[in-house]
Amino acid sequence: MRPESEAELAAEIAGAEGPLLIRGGGTRGVGAVAGTVLETGGLAGITLYEPGALTLVARAGTPLAEVEAALAAEGQRLAFEPPDLRGLLGRSGDSTLGGVVAANASGPRRIAAGACRDFLLGVRFVDGRGQVVRNGGRVMKNVTGYDLVKLMAGACGTLGVLSEVSLKVLPRPEVSATLVLHGLDDRAAVAALARGLGSPYEVTGAAHDPGAGDGPRSYLRIEGFARSVAYRMERLRGLFADVAAEVVEGEGPWPGLRDVAPFHGRAGAVWRLSVTPSEAPALAARLGAEALLYDWGGGLVWALLPEGVDARARLGVFRGHATLLRGAGCAAFHPEPAPVAALSAGLRQRFDPRGILNPGLMTS
């Protein structure tokens, strides 16, 4: 199925007789679902872009690349820095804006600017009964009724199939610079990242790669107007006077960190941990991973483990959650505590009473 309009999408879903596998570009979905493929690529095109209002509205199947090009032409961007996971997951195809939203795909800048869900102003979607629903809008502040916008971000299509999304966009900064700290072990690195993030210098990226070629490297990014970046970078560097470091101008390592490039081409299962940043090194040590990559000041840990190893069993009880992004043998999504699972199940039952939208994707 490849509907060309929202009305067609609604009719397809209303008339569906079995499970549907919802697909944007097929570049970032995780977990396995059997069903008839429903592609959103036919619902494409930017419907409104007002640079002066920092707002973009586009149909869900619009290629991400098209959106990013349109924004770049006006000196703007998606500040949440959506990752390109094709290299990590071994996929091809073109990421769609709806897929980004459905996965709440957010990169290194999430720690400072917010996630995709924080930039999502409005949605139109078709629920599991084929009913078109609109929530939010295209203005920056909106508390009119319940925020189903947040609920749809990251719901992986299980509550409805997105047909249109509106996003807040931001100006692209004049310059970007990265402080690279050398030789810190994981614990010292995460502490250094916390120190940078807790400074007044507006750090917009804080990552640590223990396996970089010449030894561990930790990264702190600053963005903005040239003079301001120069000033803040000097002050930030001063916080780590006793650490070997250099400053890299430009986008530097961030596209690679965003896309988990150090894991590309390596065999094994890929796990993604969301944890309390300061607890990350100790938790990561429990994993016995073949490779690790820390982002979000330690709050996001990428781990490469042998296939079939249950990372959750190794982690034990911890504050946060672990998602299996690539690999088999475990549920992709972290099991939720009973009362939370009951609420989530209740919502799915209401929005998709026949259980046909990516059934079981997030719960098995």
Partner 1 sequence: MQMPAPDARILARKAQIVARLRTVLPETAVISELAETRAYECDALTAYRCPPLCVVLPGSTEDVSAVLRICHEEGVPVVPRGSGTSLAGGALPTADAVILGVARMTEVLETDYTNRVIRVQTGRTNLSVSGAVAEEDFFYAPDPSSQLACAIAGNIAMNSGGAHCLKYGVTTNNLLGVTLVLMDGTVVELGGAHLDAPGLDLLGVICGSEGQLGVVTEASLRILRKPEGARPVLMGFDSNEVAGACVSDIIKAGVLPVAIEFMDRPCIEACEAFAHAGYPMCEALLIVEVEGSPDEIDEQLALILAIARRHDPVELREARDADEAGRIWLGRKSAFGAMGQINDYMCLDGTIPVTALPEVLRRIAGLSEEFGLKVANVFHAGDGNMHPLILFDANTPGQLELCEAFGAEILKLCVEVGGCLTGEHGVGIEKRDLMSVQYAPADLEAQMAVKDVFDPRWLLNPAKVFPLDVSEPRRSVALAAE
Question: Is residue 285 classed as helix, strand or coil in its secondary structure?
Answer: helix
Q: Please, which of residues 321-340 interact with partner 1 by CB under 8 A?
A: 321, 323, 333-334, 336-337, 339-340
Q: How far is the CB of 23 from partner 1 (least distance, A)?
A: 20
CB 217 within 8 A of CB 186: no
Q: How far apart are CA 260 and CA 202, in angstroms?
A: 23
Query: Which residue do the tokens 């690679």 mark?
Result: 256
Q: Does 44 bind partner 1 (CB under 8 A)?
A: no
Q: Does 188 bind partner 1 (CB under 8 A)?
A: no
Angstrom CA distances, 60 to 6, 127, 169, 192, stand at 10, 14, 16, 39
39, 42, 46, 150: which one binds partner 1 (CB under 8 A) = 150
> Which one of 92-100, 138-146, 211-219, 263-271 is the stretch in contact with partner 1 (CB under 8 A)?
138-146
At CA 114, angle to CA 38 and CA 95, rounded to 5? Answer: 30
Q: How far is the CB of 45 from partner 1 (least distance, A)?
A: 18
Q: Does 343 bind partner 1 (CB under 8 A)?
A: yes
How many residues form the binding site for partner 1 (CB under 8 A)?
A: 86
Give Cα 51 to chain centroid, integer Å: 24
Q: How far apart are CA 344 and CA 363, in angstroms?
A: 10
Question: Is residue 119 classed as helix, strand or coil in its secondary structure?
Answer: helix
Q: How far is the CB of 293 from partner 1 (least distance, A)?
A: 16
Q: Does 23 bind partner 1 (CB under 8 A)?
A: no
Q: Which residues pair with residue 181 across a beta bridge?
A: 218, 245
Q: Does 55 bind partner 1 (CB under 8 A)?
A: yes
85, 197, 245, 257: which one binds partner 1 (CB under 8 A) = 197
Q: Please, which of residues 278-307 interact with partner 1 by CB under 8 A?
A: 278, 296, 299-300
How many Cβ atoms are within 10 Å of 123's Cβ, its own excluded?
A: 25
Q: How far is the CB of 263 from partner 1 (least distance, A)?
A: 20
Q: How far is the CB of 350 from partner 1 (least distance, A)?
A: 4
108, 277, 281, 327: which one binds partner 1 (CB under 8 A) = 277
15, 17, 34, 143: which one binds partner 1 (CB under 8 A) = 143
Q: How far apart are CA 19 and CA 316, in angstroms?
A: 34
Q: How far is the CB of 92 from partner 1 (least distance, A)?
A: 27
Nearest residue to 196 via CA among 294, 296, 103: 296
CB 179 within 8 A of CB 189: no
31, 35, 42, 173: which one binds partner 1 (CB under 8 A) = 173
Q: How far is the CB of 52 from partner 1 (least distance, A)?
A: 4
Nearer to partner 1, 2 or 318 (CB): 318
CB 98 within 8 A of CB 29: no
Q: Does 51 bind partner 1 (CB under 8 A)?
A: yes
Nearer to partner 1, 96 or 166 (CB): 166
Query: Which residue do the tokens 């970007």 mark?
Result: 176
272, containing H or E segment? strand 269-275
Nearer to partner 1, 63 or 220 (CB): 220
18, 90, 171, 306: which one binds partner 1 (CB under 8 A) = 171
Q: Which residues pair with residue 361 across a beta bridge?
A: none
Radius of gyration of the chain (CA): 21
Angstrom CA distances, 69 to 74, 77, 82, 129, 232, stand at 9, 9, 14, 35, 30
Nearer to partner 1, 97 or 362 (CB): 362
Q: How far is the CB of 19 from partner 1 (least distance, A)?
A: 19
Q: Is the dihedral of CA 5, 10, 15, 17 positive or negative?
A: positive
Q: Does 153 bind partner 1 (CB under 8 A)?
A: yes
46, 320, 354, 360: which one binds partner 1 (CB under 8 A) = 320
**Number of residues that make up the chain:** 364
